[in-house]
Amino acid sequence: MKVLLVGSGGREHALAWAIAASPLVERLWCAPGNPGIAQEATCVPIGATDIPALVAFARENAVDLVVPGPEAPLVAGLADACAEAGIACFGPSAAAARLEGSKAFMKEVCAAAGVPTAPSATFTDAEAAKAHVRREGAPIVVKADGLAAGKGVVVAATVAEAEAAIDAFMRDRVHGEAGAAVVIEACLVGEEVSFFALCDGAHAVPFGAAQDHKRVGEGDTGPNTGGMGAYAPPPAFTPELERQVMAAIVQPTLAEMVRRGAPFRGVLFCGLMLTEAGPRLLEFNVRFGDPECQVLMLRLMSDLVPAMQAACDGVLDRFAVRFEPVSAIAVVMAARGYPGTPVTGSEIRGLDRAAAVPKVRVFHAGTRAEGGRIVAAGGRVLNICATGTTLAEARDAAYAAIDAIDWPEGFCRRDIGHRAFGR
């Protein structure tokens, strides 16, 4: 098979590593890729949202399967364009990708499907949104309706904080048009878990769970980020909870999307809160999480490529996915200034030393090659990942690798996995 992977982050590096390992794959390209991905695939200089160029490349090179990594090209219609060209695409249509592209749409689907989620209201007027907050009180959650790179959510401890978030989203447009509408919902209490299911429109196969760390600072402090680390499997997510989520969240959602004429194919990411009343849906994403994907790929025993093809072909009911009975951890190294404006261009040394630590794998996220050097080119720059028979073993290996890296301008959290160690 010939495969075109789309994207340039740590998630895509992990996917490239897993796809390249498949004996079915004879050629793998990545658009646009990064220096780490270049070790697994041929990188081509096409932007992840340049849909006409991506489809043209796939046609010209007889690509059998397109694998989008990030959400933006899916929301923009990459899967639709591939379908028109007769090319299989592991991802939902633009209509189905609205599950992530619009939080208001996601809430509408949940209401119709009977999916358990937090009570919410949607607003396009800032003053009406503030009035709602004043009536409901705090803590309360304010979400930008559209795509905001994982940063469009504020868990407000006070009414004033919620009103400030509404102004930032709706008036200051800190996330552009993503903040033209906001969803305001009740603040649920419990443990957060990311659960994944492969879907073919009608059938779904569990694809594991992970816990990530959204806050930039240790002890889960500071502003939200795209994710500062993740680990799997999460001790709080039992097989019984997995069965509940498949029955109460995943399957009803698939049925509702079929009813709407927009069957969901690809990977469905369920952001969950494990409350005392049971699992509640916080959000849907229509792609693998980042950095959750990295720990899932490290534990995956099954060949990823035929599972993706089965999702495209509508035959996932014939598949089961297996994971190794090990723990995995991913620690994000970010550039100073993140999640604000990161400082880019600094050289990163010692990557070979880090990769030489046993059971460690380094996935590139925001890097570029410059005159034989690797330099920072984004906010989240590296994912230092490791496996172990225990989570403690994986954690120790990952931080040993981080200590081997010479990058004064970078930082990371030193407490990834702390929820599991506190249990």
Q: Domain map of the chain by residue range? A: 2-93, 125-180, 191-318, 327-421
- Grouping H, G, I as helix, E, B as strand and the rest as coil, residue 373 is strand
What's residue 151's pLDDT?
A: 76
Contacts of 315 (CB under 8 A, 6+ apart): 200
List beta partners, residue 322.
Answer: none
The count of other CB atoms within 10 Å of the CB of residue 300 is 20
**Banded pLDDT at 192 (limits 50, 70, 90):** very high
Helix (H), strand (E) at residue 246: none
**Banded pLDDT at 3 (limits 50, 70, 90):** very high
Query: How far apart are alpha carbons 258 and 241 in whole angstroms?
Result: 25
Q: Given CATH 3.40.50.300, say whether it is the number of domain 327-421.
A: no
What's residue 22's pLDDT?
A: 98
- pLDDT tens digits for range 256-302: 999 999 999 999 999 999 999 999 999 999 999 999 999 999 999 99
4-8, 177-181, 198-202, 408-412: the lowest-pLDDT one: 177-181
- Phi, psi for residue 141 in degrees, rounded to 5: -110, 130
**Banded pLDDT at 196 (limits 50, 70, 90):** very high
CA distances from 384 to 186, 225, 258 (A): 35, 17, 39
- Phi, psi for residue 243 in degrees, rounded to 5: -65, -40
- pLDDT tens digits for range 46-96: 999 999 999 999 999 999 999 999 999 999 999 999 999 999 999 999 999
Helix (H), strand (E) at residue 205: strand 204-212
What's residue 58's pLDDT?
A: 98
The count of other CB atoms within 10 Å of the CB of residue 301 is 9
Helices (H) and strands (E) in the chain, counts: 15, 23
What's residue 244's pLDDT?
A: 97
Kindly report the average pLDDT of the chain as a whole number: 96
- Phi, psi for residue 186 in degrees, rounded to 5: -65, 150
Take residue 274 and report the two structure tokens written for it. Answer: 């494990």
Q: What is the mean pLDDT of residues 146-150?
A: 82
What's residue 143's pLDDT?
A: 94
Q: Which fold has domain 191-318?
A: D-amino Acid Aminotransferase; Chain A, domain 1 (3.30.470)
Take residue 402 and report the two structure tokens written for it. Answer: 């981080």
CATH architecture for the domain at 125-180: 2-Layer Sandwich (3.30)
Check: CB of residue 117 under 8 Å from CB of residue 281. yes
Query: Does the pLDDT at position 345 exceed 70?
Result: yes
Percent of the chain with pLDDT over 70: 100
**Banded pLDDT at 318 (limits 50, 70, 90):** confident
Query: How far apart are alpha carbons 361 and 385 in whole angstroms?
Result: 5
Take residue 79 and report the two structure tokens written for it. Answer: 């899967």
Of the options 2.30.40.10, 3.30.420.40, 3.40.50.20, 3.40.50.300, the CATH number for the domain spanning 2-93: 3.40.50.20
Of residues 40 and 419, the one with the higher pLDDT is: 40
Task: With CA atoms as reference, report the closest residue to 354 among 408, 407, 277.
Answer: 407
Query: Does the pLDDT at position 423 exceed 60?
Result: no
Query: Does the pLDDT at position 329 exceed 80?
Result: yes
Query: How far apart are alpha carbons 71 and 80 in whole angstroms?
Result: 14
Query: How far apart are alpha carbons 347 and 157 in whole angstroms?
Result: 39
149-163, 202-216, 362-376: the lowest-pLDDT one: 149-163
Check: CB of residue 233 under 8 Å from CB of residue 296. no
CA distances from 39 to 28, 45, 47, 69, 409 (A): 11, 16, 19, 17, 25
Instruction: Go through the chain and tell me how many residues it has.
Output: 423
Query: Does the pLDDT at position 125 exceed 60?
Result: yes
CA dihedral 143, 147, 149, 150 (to 10 degrees): 30
Q: Cα dihedral sign for 98, 102, 106, 108?
A: negative
What's residue 415's pLDDT?
A: 96
Check: CB of residue 267 under 8 Å from CB of residue 197. yes
R_g (Cα) of the chain, nearest Å: 20
Check: CB of residue 314 under 8 Å from CB of residue 383. no
Q: Where are the alpha helices (DSSP H) in 200-266?
A: 239-245, 251-259
Query: Does the pLDDT at position 149 exceed 80?
Result: no
